[in-house]
Structure 1
Amino acid sequence: MTTAGHLATIDLLRTRAFPAPPERSGSVDSGPGFHVGELATSEDFWEDDGTRRLLVEEQYEAERDGLAALLTARWGPPRELSLWSVLERSMDGEEMPEPWPTLSCHTPHLKLWRAEGRWTGLGVSQWDKELPFQLLAVITEIDPPDEA
């Protein structure tokens, strides 16, 4: 998908109502107060020596940063949110609202903007080193947890 297509998807998710029960529709996971959309997904890395993985990771980070520049032009500089502490805290049993604990399992950090009552975030996700990278858009009305 193109940058224009990614922006159109983000704009669509920003206007979509949040469902009461969690649901998955196509490449979007949604629940009370949030949508997490997969903008792009790479191939997996089962037969890779690490070289291709590194190149793909750099490509996805560059795509995120390109989109971030466009969103920064709309809403100003993003908040940089590390999700490592969220992961640690949720693994220690601290209760946190979705989408934050699930995101923290596979997305190390997000670029976040607050606009029109919703947070919009961009991140690069990978569940495990053999699995695909994903460029994610996060739309939520749920404030991110405080960084501890």
Structure 2
Amino acid sequence: MNIARHIALIDELCFRPFPAEHGPSDDGFGGPGHHVAVLETDDGPDGDPARRAVTVDRFEEDHDAVYEVLASRWGDTGPWNPRTGREETPEPWAWLAARAGAARVWEVQGTGRWVAVAVADRDPNDAIRLLAVVTKTPPP
């Protein structure tokens, strides 16, 4: 874990141009109006629920450390629960909702962008990831 590196990448994504088409990037992937960065990932599912729980706990601690830095800069935010919205969920929020149970979200003043940080652990058959999403689309 390198919180300073995670914060530097999030800062960069707040100003990096969005790609014209969907595709991979050096730190994740992006598309029109959004970037998704994989800040950390595990080795993928190994069938051991106890090991998975330990990994989720570690990623949650890293998420909290990133949150503390961003909250000191942009303010405290309550968790965004993607399942509470009643309207159609736009991308990249629908993608994030399918992978994470909650996210911390900030509007980055002066950039026209939103930042979300979440632990993607919904799918037991997929790797656990600490994600940062930067988008011009407000959360639903």
Residue 95 of structure 1 and its aligned partner are, at CA, apart by 4.5
Task: Name the SS of the counterpart of 1:105 in structure 2.
Answer: helix
Give 1:123 deviation, angstroms: 0.1
- CA deviation after TM superposition for structure 1 residue 79, in Å: 4.0
- In structure 2, what is the equivalent of residue 26 of structure 1? 26
Structure 2 spans left out of the alignment, 5+ residues: none
The reply on whether 1:111 has 2:110 as its aligned counterpart is no
Residue 57 of structure 1 corresponds to 56
TM-score (norm 1): 0.85
Match of 2:76 in 1: 77
Q: How does 1:61-140 map onto structure 2 within 5 Å?
A: 61-85=60-84, 95-116=88-109, 117-126=112-121, 128-140=123-135
Point out the more displaced range, 131-140 or 18-27.
Answer: 18-27
Superposition deviation, residue 26 in structure 1: 2.9
Number of aligned residues: 138
- Partner amino acid, structure 1, of 2:100: T
- CA distance in structure 1 between the aligned counterparts of 2:126 and 2:19, rounded to whole angstroms: 28
Q: Give the Å deviation of 1:127.
A: 5.3
Q: Secondary structure at the match of 1:15?
A: coil
Q: 1: distance between equivalents of 2:138 and 2:115?
A: 11
Which residue identity lines up with residue 70 of structure 1 in the other structure?
Answer: V
Displacement after TM superposition at 1:4 (Å): 0.8
- 72-81 or 136-145: bigger deviation: 72-81
| Identical positions, percent | 36
Q: Secondary structure at the match of 2:14?
A: helix
Measure how far apart 1:96 and its partner are: 3.6
Deviation at 1:138, TM superposition (A): 0.8
TM-score of the pair, normalised by structure 2: 0.89
Distance 1:70 1:55 in 2: 23
Question: Relative to 1, partners in 2 of residues 1:31 and 1:79: Cα closer, same or farther, differing over 3 Å?
Answer: farther
Runs of 4+ more than 6 Å apart: none
- One-letter identity of the residue aligned with 1:72: A
Deviation for aligned residue 1:58 = 0.6
